[in-house]
């Protein structure tokens, strides 16, 4: 295909605003697939994603579109992940495009995430084609939504498309606009190859499959290539384009989007954002924007049953083949035994990994409270990174503790401004300013400690705004604060998995509520259980779980022995699902007690 | 040769008590004759299992066995004698309910050959009986006890229920006062249990029935236990008390691994290390037996782990505890979870026997589960070596 007839674009939209439905319509209208081939919302292919309505794994698809001028165009629709945890992945997908369709649900209006992705797209100089979707729905506010879009992108909003992705109306016009308004890719085919890896996945038969956009030059089967950031050399086994399945070709030319299989063993070798260059030209300039992977949220993962430690290791290894964005290393805890400290992009990402471990790999897990990475300046002037509260040096050695601070934006209808501000302030937010997007919507800007955001902040915002608030953030800096470690002791033994690093002013309340929650979650047992919260040697809260007073089946005669034995076996199985800590049994839920502290 | 007992189940009741989870039927009194015949047929069919010295105990339970006319009960008991034989001095028990058994009936029962009677008195407090939904009064219960004595029963059990939703500690104390005065040979005290599928359970779920909390339940249980032992009763099983020499021999076998036959709808049996049970459905039971086929619906042979678990759990329910092998004893003694239980005062080791203490008795199940878990850990250690040390 002639480079001038290629259009690479993505769809920027909030979850549920109709991105997948629009993609479906485009595939249909370009005859890329027929409607009976259509598995609903084809771009999402993981169960979990579908359940959560989030596209985690970006894919791309090529469509052949015959324009009104009678000429055939090659469209590459590149999908983008849709959650705040995956901002960097989104930015790399955007970098593979020349244009973006901005899709806004006319029944919902613009959301924070749309704004942030739009800003990313604008900063990459993408041409934006704004669309108002769901115009067929009775509650649609088409003119209001258009006004929000105009306010957002100003002059660029001269033509906003009215579409109904569900019914297909307006989509034909949109396809034509993609031809007319989005520029063809630049780049020079005679140059040495430079291709952007914007996504990758692991296939158990083929190894790592990289999705890439050729920016300069071309890549052919058999060619020797080099990944810039790792400096590793591979031979291209297969290269091709993406339809609904992979279609092998001989060569990918400048401007084209496709996939590459080159004997890459692990996803961590094929970093999103990395540049593919010629093997014999190691000094080629990489494409801009590569960022090494950096987890933001950490948590300890332990098997409930110590016998499953090796199973958990295997599961983590296999999972990492599919998800290079989390890290793990062995960790031991006096309370929980052998486990792993894992790093994630964010809380949602953490939940996804946990769920996959439990669901796909069938390992019952105890997950410790998520925490962020702290920097500790010691009295000796050394700066240490601390990813687990348990590893915080003794208080006497600490000069200061620094925590990550975010700059956050909360988009909210005006009537909920007050309640959202209260949530932000309750989470140690520092107010920056308020921007009105239109008469009924505002963007609140805050500085927030990441630690305050990782646990249920977004849920809180949603609940005080009847689901209307949306939230987005970027990292600002590490900042010192009056932080302390709060320990939880069970019958005087330190339960390291429940320790947190917390702002001094919040420690009292936290300790009290956590002890209260643990009292609810730890069942009565043979012995009394004393739960204490302490800072250093000072106990700040205490609760007691009284022991069983009575635990015995009343009747047990011939006819019932089998049935009653089974009741006891169930009681025994229940115990096995708990973690033995000294003479105390602690249920799995207790380790996440702090996440549910407000329930 | 081990001694063998026989249990026969009678599902007929005038009405279903709202807490009862047993297999009972109401309004099927036209089936008495057929049922008796079926029981006799089933007994004859298992005549080959008859022990040489005859049965050591026979227990007619239900339901309400005395719903059947004495002549039918007699026919069945006669068939037992003919097909299995009953040992000299055997314990032959029948259950009776105060509301449904008139005074003359007790004399018939004694005369037929029952030498022990178990009366479902439940409470000697009218309000308690109403809360339980029983169809008799305290006066009926008293009358039933006196009638049984008059009929010559010198081995009487009274079943009692405590932790009745809505009743007080004082109500339970009054019932105990009456019972201690009556001085039956045997007393069973059961905490009211919300059984699956009963109307009490449904009501408790919908919040329509107050739920007795663990602390109140424990207080009444321990109160009863102290009152009865002070009155000279031996507390020989979690829920059972007897004057010296008057333990229920039939039930004792259940708790100590004894074998027993079972006939009638839903009856269980334990023979040659195998447990099996009859269909719970009365029409199905009748149809099977009348067609000459076995009414047995299912069975299990306990695997060694289940057998151990059962031995420990049932044994600990009794005053004699459970006998441990040397390996078990030494293995247990080395485990912290076990020593915690001993140090916590829940169990004691006396020679080769392990017993619950006074503190352990009210929490017997939790203790058993803990010990069985430790025994399983021991078995696992023996198979694969100990766990790696936790740092």
User: Measured in whole angstroms, how far is the alpha carbon of residue B288 from the centre of its chain?
Assistant: 27
Q: How far is A102 from A542, CA to CA, in rounded Å?
A: 53
User: Measured in whole angstroms, how far is the alpha carbon of residue A45 from the centre of its chain?
Assistant: 16
User: Measured in whole angstroms, how far is the alpha carbon of residue B297 from the centre of its chain?
Assistant: 22
Tell if the CB–CB gap between B390 and A550 is shorter than 8 Å. no
Whether B195 and B324 share a structural domain = no
Q: How far is B11 from B204, CA to CA, in rounded Å?
A: 25
**A558 at B interface, C-beta within 8 A:** yes
Of A447, A471, A455, which is closest to residue A372 (Cα–Cα)? A455
Mutate to test the interface with A, among B10, B223, B268 (most CBs of A within 10 A): B268
Number of domains in chain B: 2
CB-closest option in A526, A527, A554 to B239: A554
Q: Is residue B268 part of a domain?
A: no
Give pLDDT, residue A48: 47
Q: Is residue B234 part of a domain?
A: yes
Whether B50 and B184 share a structural domain = yes
Taking CA atoms, what residue in A is nearest to B311? A565
B54 to chain A, closest Cα gap in Å: 19
Tell if the CB–CB gap between B254 and A556 is shorter than 8 Å. yes
Whole-angstrom CA distances from A146 to A153, A468, B378 are 11, 18, 71
Q: Is residue B329 part of a domain?
A: yes
Are A220 and A195 a contacting pair, CB within 8 Å? no
Q: How far is B5 from B268, CA to CA, in rounded Å?
A: 12
If phi over 0 gives left and psi between -120 and 50 gives alpha, with beta otherwise, what is residue A508?
A: alpha
A583 to chain B, closest Cα gap in Å: 7
| Interface contacts A/B by beta carbons within 8 Å | 126
A489 to chain B, closest Cα gap in Å: 18
Give me the half-sphere count of Cα atoms (radius 13 Å) on the Cβ side of residue B366: 18
Q: Is residue B299 part of a domain?
A: no
Mutate to test the interface with B, among A306, A337, A550 (most CBs of B within 10 A): A550
Taking CA atoms, what residue in A is nearest to B373? A572
Q: How far is A225 from A192, CA to CA, in rounded Å?
A: 11
Give pLDDT, residue A596: 67
Give pLDDT, residue B290: 96
DSSP A70: S
Q: Which two tokens stand for residue B299?
A: 């069975």
Whether B194 and B343 share a structural domain = no
Whether B104 and B183 share a structural domain = yes
Question: If you compute the radius of gyration of chain B from its CA atoms, what whole number of angstroms results?
Answer: 22
Question: If you compute the radius of gyration of chain A from its CA atoms, what whole number of angstroms results?
Answer: 27
- Residues of chain A predicted below pLDDT 50: 41, 43-46, 48-58
Give pLDDT, residue A598: 60
- Domain end marker among B240, B255, B270: B255
Whether B198 and B335 share a structural domain = no
Whether B251 and B309 share a structural domain = no
Tell if the CB–CB gap between B277 and A559 is shorter than 8 Å. yes
Mutate to test the interface with A, among B17, B220, B370 (most CBs of A within 10 A): B370
Give pLDDT, residue A597: 66
A569 to chain B, closest Cα gap in Å: 8
Whether B165 and B29 share a structural domain = yes
User: Measured in whole angstroms, how far is the alpha carbon of residue A329 from the centre of its chain?
Assistant: 20
**ipTM of the modeled complex:** 0.90
Tell if the CB–CB gap between B390 and A338 is shorter than 8 Å. yes
Q: Is residue B144 part of a domain?
A: yes
Q: Which two tokens stand for residue A115?
A: 């704004």
Which residues does chain A have within 8 Å of residue B224's beta carbon, measured at their own beta carbons?
none
Partners of A257 in beta bridges? A213
If phi over 0 gives left and psi between -120 and 50 gives alpha, with beta otherwise, what is residue A125?
A: left
Of A412, A417, A419, A392, which is closest to residue A403 (Cα–Cα)? A392
Q: Is residue B36 part of a domain?
A: yes
Give pLDDT, residue A595: 66
Are A593 and B338 a contacting pair, CB within 8 Å? no
Q: How far is A330 from A313, CA to CA, in rounded Å?
A: 9
The pairing of strands A297-303 and A72-78 is: unpaired
Whether B347 and B235 share a structural domain = no
A335 to chain B, closest Cα gap in Å: 9
- Domain CATH number, residue B19: 3.20.20.70
Taking CA atoms, what residue in B is nearest to A557? B254
Mutate to test the interface with B, among A306, A338, A528, A559 (most CBs of B within 10 A): A559
Q: Is residue B284 part of a domain?
A: no
CB-closest option in A334, A561, A575 to B369: A575
- Domain end marker among B222, B255, B288: B255
Are A64 and A5 a contacting pair, CB within 8 Å? no
Which residues does chain B have within 8 Å of residue A308's beta carbon, measured at their own beta carbons?
none
- Domain end marker among B221, B255, B289: B255
Q: Determine the structural domain holding residue B192 and report its residue range.
A: 4-255
Whether B206 and B338 share a structural domain = no
Give DSSP secondary structure letters for A340-401: EEEEESSHHHHHHHHHHHHHHS---EEEPPPEE-EEEEETTS-EEEESSGGGPPPGGGEEEE
The pairing of strands B353-356 and A374-378 is: unpaired
CB-closest option in A332, A548, A562 to B366: A548
**A596 at B interface, C-beta within 8 A:** no
Distance separating the N- and C-terminal Cα atoms of chain A: 58
B138 to chain A, closest Cα gap in Å: 23
Helix (H) / strand (E) containing B221: helix B214-230
The set of residues, in sequence order, having a beta carbon less than 8 Å from that of B39 and lying 6+ positions away, is B8, B76, B79, B263, B264
Map residue B391 onto helix, strand or coil: coil
Whether B356 and B234 share a structural domain = no
Per-residue pLDDT tens digits of chain B, which is 391 residues long: 578 999 999 999 999 999 998 889 999 999 999 999 999 999 999 998 888 999 999 999 989 999 999 999 999 999 999 999 999 999 999 999 997 777 889 999 999 999 999 999 999 999 999 999 998 999 999 999 999 999 999 999 999 999 999 999 999 999 999 999 999 999 999 999 998 889 999 999 999 999 899 999 999 999 999 999 999 999 999 999 999 999 999 999 999 999 999 999 999 999 988 999 999 999 999 999 999 999 999 999 988 888 999 999 999 999 999 999 888 899 999 998 899 999 999 999 988 999 999 999 999 999 999 999 999 888 888 877 655 554 4
Tell if the CB–CB gap between B367 and A526 is shorter than 8 Å. yes
Q: What is the pLDDT of residues A45-102, one digit of tens each?
A: 445 444 443 333 447 889 999 999 999 999 999 988 666 567 778 888 899 999 999 9
Whether B217 and B337 share a structural domain = no
The set of residues, in sequence order, having a beta carbon less than 8 Å from that of A518 and lying 6+ positions away, is A488, A498, A531, A543, A590, A593
Whole-angstrom CA distances from B166 to A243, B221, B227 are 71, 16, 22
Whether B190 and B62 share a structural domain = yes
**A575 at B interface, C-beta within 8 A:** yes
The pairing of strands B12-13 and A127-133 is: unpaired
Give pLDDT, residue A310: 92
**A138 at B interface, C-beta within 8 A:** no
Which residues does chain A have within 8 Å of residue B310's beta carbon, measured at their own beta carbons?
561, 565
Of A392, A390, A444, A388, which is closest to residue A414 (Cα–Cα)? A444
Q: Is residue B270 part of a domain?
A: no
Q: How far is B241 from B236, CA to CA, in rounded Å?
A: 6
E strands, A136-269, are 161-162, 194-203, 207-216, 219-220, 224-227, 232-235, 238-242, 246-249, 251-252, 257-261
A523 to chain B, closest Cα gap in Å: 12
């Amino acid at each position: 295909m002639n480079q001038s007839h290629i259009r690479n674009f993505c769809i920027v939209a909030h979850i549920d605003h109709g991105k997948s439905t629009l993609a479906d319509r485009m595939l249909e209208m370009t005859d890329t697939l027929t409607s009976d081939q259509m598995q609903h919302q084809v771009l999402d292919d993981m169960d979990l994603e579908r359940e959560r309505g989030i596209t985690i794994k970006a894919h791309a698809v090529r469509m052949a579109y015959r324009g009104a001028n009678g000429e055939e165009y090659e469209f590459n629709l590149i999908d983008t992940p849709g959650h705040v945890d995956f901002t960097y992945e989104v930015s790399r997908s955007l970098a593979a495009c020349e244009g973006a369709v901005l899709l806004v649900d006319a029944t919902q209006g613009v959301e924070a995430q749309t704004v942030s992705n739009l800003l990313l797209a604008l900063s990459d100089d993408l041409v934006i084609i704004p669309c108002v979707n769901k115009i067929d729905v009775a509650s649609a506010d088409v003119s209001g939504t258009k006004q929000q879009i105009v306010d957002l992108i100003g002059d660029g909003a001269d033509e906003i498309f009215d579409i109904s992705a569900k019914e297909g109306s307006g989509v034909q016009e949109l396809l034509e606009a993609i031809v007319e308004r989005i520029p063809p890719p630049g780049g020079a085919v005679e140059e040495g190859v430079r291709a952007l890896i914007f996504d990758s996945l692991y296939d158990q038969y083929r190894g790592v499959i990289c999705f890439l956009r050729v920016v300069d030059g071309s890549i052919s089967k058999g060619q020797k290539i080099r990944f810039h950031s790792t400096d590793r050399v591979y031979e291209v086994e297969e290269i091709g384009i993406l339809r609904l399945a992979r279609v092998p070709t001989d060569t990918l030319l400048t401007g084209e989007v496709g996939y590459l299989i080159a004997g890459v063993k692990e996803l961590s070798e094929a970093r999103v954002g990395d540049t593919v260059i010629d093997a014999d030209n190691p000094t080629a300039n990489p494409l801009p924007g590569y960022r090494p992977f950096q987890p933001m949220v950490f948590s300890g993962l332990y098997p409930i049953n110590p016998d499953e430690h090796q199973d958990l290791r295997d599961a983590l290894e296999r999972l990492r083949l599919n998800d290079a964005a989390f890290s793990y290393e062995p960790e031991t805890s006096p309370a929980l035994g052998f486990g792993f400290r894992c790093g994630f992009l964010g809380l949602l990402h953490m939940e996804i990994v946990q769920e996959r471990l439990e669901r796909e790999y069938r390992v019952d897990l105890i997950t410790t409270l998520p925490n962020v990475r702290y920097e500790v300046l010691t009295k000796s002037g050394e700066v240490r990174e601390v990813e687990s509260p348990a590893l915080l040096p003794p208080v006497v050695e600490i000069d200061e503790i620094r925590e990550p601070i975010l700059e956050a934006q909360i988009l909210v209808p005006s009537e909920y401004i007050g309640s959202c501000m209260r949530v932000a302030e309750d989470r140690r937010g520092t107010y920056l300013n308020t921007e009105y997007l239109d008469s009924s919507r505002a963007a609140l800007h805050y500085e927030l400690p990441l630690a305050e955001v990782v646990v249920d902040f977004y849920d809180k915002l949603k609940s005080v705004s009847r689901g209307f608030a949306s939230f987005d953030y970027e990292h600002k800096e590490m900042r010192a604060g009056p932080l302390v470690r709060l320990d939880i002791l069970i019958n005087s033994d330190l339960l390291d998995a429940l320790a947190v690093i917390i702002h001094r002013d919040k420690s009292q309340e936290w300790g009290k509520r956590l002890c209260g929650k643990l009292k609810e979650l730890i069942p009565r047992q043979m012995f009394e259980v004393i739960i204490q919260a302490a800072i250093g040697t000072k106990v700040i809260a205490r609760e007691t779980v009284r022991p069983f007073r009575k635990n015995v089946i009343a009747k047990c005669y011939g006819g019932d022995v089998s049935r009653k034995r089974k009741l006891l076996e169930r009681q025994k199985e229940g115990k096995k699902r708990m973690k033995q800590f000294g003479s105390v049994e602690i249920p799995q839920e207790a380790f996440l007690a702090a996440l549910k502290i407000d329930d | 040769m081990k001694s063998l007992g026989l249990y026969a189940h009678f599902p007929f009741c005038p009405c279903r008590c709202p807490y009862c989870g047993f297999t009972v039927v109401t309004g099927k009194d036209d089936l008495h004759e057929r049922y008796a015949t079926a029981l006799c047929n089933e007994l004859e069919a298992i005549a080959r299992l008859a022990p040489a010295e005859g049965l050591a105990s026979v227990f007619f339970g239900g339901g309400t066995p005395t719903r059947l006319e004495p002549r039918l009960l007699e026919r069945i008991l006669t068939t037992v004698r003919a097909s299995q034989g009953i040992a000299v001095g055997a314990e032959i028990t029948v259950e009776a309910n105060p509301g449904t058994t008139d005074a003359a009936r007790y004399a018939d029962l004694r005369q037929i050959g029952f030498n022990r009677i178990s009366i479902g008195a439940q409470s000697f407090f009218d309000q308690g009986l109403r809360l339980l939904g029983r169809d008799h009064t305290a006066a009926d219960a008293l009358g039933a006890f006196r009638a049984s004595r008059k009929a010559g029963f010198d081995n009487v059990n009274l079943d009692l229920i405590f932790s009745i939703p809505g009743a007080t500690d004082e109500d339970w104390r009054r019932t105990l006062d009456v019972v201690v005065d009556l001085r039956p040979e045997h007393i069973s005290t059961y905490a009211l249990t919300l059984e699956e599928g009963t109307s009490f359970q449904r009501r408790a779920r919908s919040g329509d029935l107050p739920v007795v909390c663990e602390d109140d339940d424990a207080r009444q249980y321990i109160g009863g236990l102290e009152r009865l032992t002070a009155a000279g009763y031996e507390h020989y099983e979690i829920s059972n008390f007897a004057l010296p020499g008057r333990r229920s021999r039939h039930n004792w076998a259940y708790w100590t691994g004894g074998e027993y036959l079972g006939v009638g709808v839903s009856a269980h049996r334990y023979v040659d290390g195998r447990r099996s049970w009859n269909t719970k459905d009365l029409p199905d039971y009748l149809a099977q037996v009348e067609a000459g086929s076995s009414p047995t619906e299912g069975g299990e042979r306990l695997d060694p782990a289940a057998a151990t678990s059962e031995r420990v759990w049932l044994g600990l329910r009794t005053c004699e505890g459970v006998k441990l092998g040397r390996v078990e004893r030494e293995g247990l003694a080395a485990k912290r979870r076990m020593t915690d239980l001993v140090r916590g005062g829940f169990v004691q080791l006396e020679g080769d026997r392990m017993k619950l203490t006074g503190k352990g008795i009210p929490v017997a199940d939790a203790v058993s589960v803990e010990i069985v878990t430790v025994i399983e850990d021991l078995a696992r250690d023996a198979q694969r070596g100990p766990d790696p040390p936790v740092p």
